[in-house]
Amino acid sequence: GVPDEIKSLGFEEALEELEKIVRNLESGQGKLDDAINAYERGAQLKKHCESQLAEAKTRVEKISFSDDGGAAVEPTEIS
């Protein structure tokens, strides 16, 4: 699972940290243990970003526009 500390990050914050981790891993500098930890955190950040994107996509898909230019949001199904 994704730690609460990562879940509390906004999308932009998580993406920025993920990009930094990728740059550091690509540089190949640092110790193996640090690289493994960074990779694991990067995987968690990626999962968090993907779930936020999926949630946003679902919300956008529920928006509809009428011919007269009005907008409406379909009610969310309760599971």
Per-residue pLDDT tens over the stretch 16-49: 999 999 999 999 888 899 999 999 999 999 999 9
Separation CA 38–CA 44 (nearest Å): 10
CB 25 within 8 A of CB 18: no
Separation CA 31–CA 4 (nearest Å): 27
Q: Tell me what percent of the residues of the chain surpass a pLDDT of 90.
A: 66
Other C-beta atoms closer than 10 Å to the C-beta of 48 total 23
pLDDT of 79 higher than 60: no
pLDDT of 59 higher than 80: yes
Q: Tell me what percent of the residues of the chain surpass a pLDDT of 70.
A: 95
Average pLDDT over the chain reads: 90
pLDDT of 75 higher than 80: no
